[in-house]
Amino acid sequence: TQLLEQSPQFLSIQEGENLTVYCNSSSVFSSLQWYRQEPGEGPVLLVTVVTGGEVKKLKRLTFQFGDARKDSSLHITAAQPGDTGLYLCAGERTGNQFYFGTGTSLTVIP
């Protein structure tokens, strides 16, 4: 059983479209991270959010941490084929341990 549920599990969109990935839990986290993982590689950190309600932008990617620090979202504007990959959220709990979500596999079609 994973603490964090991501939706959707799979997403296939055309280049130029917008999308949002959700990461939800009933647990409170001290911080939340988003990663992207490509086949044959380990996850690569995209962002860390710490404060409830926090919004961070990284070029075309916007990350939001829920007010209650139980959920988060990742919004991509004008998706590009290079955005293709597995997106993972990871919530930090007691003992500074990270618990990963179930993952969202994104395919951007040129």
Contact 34, 46 (CB under 8 A): yes
Binding status of residue 88 toward another protein by CB under 8 A: yes
In angstroms, give the least distance from the CB of 96 to another protein. 5
Binding status of residue 62 toward another protein by CB under 8 A: no
Binding status of residue 43 toward another protein by CB under 8 A: yes
- Per-position x/- string for 67-86, each x denoting binding to another protein as judged by CB under 8 A, each - no binding: --------------------
Contact 33, 90 (CB under 8 A): yes
Output the CA angle 52-100-102, nearest 5 degrees.
110
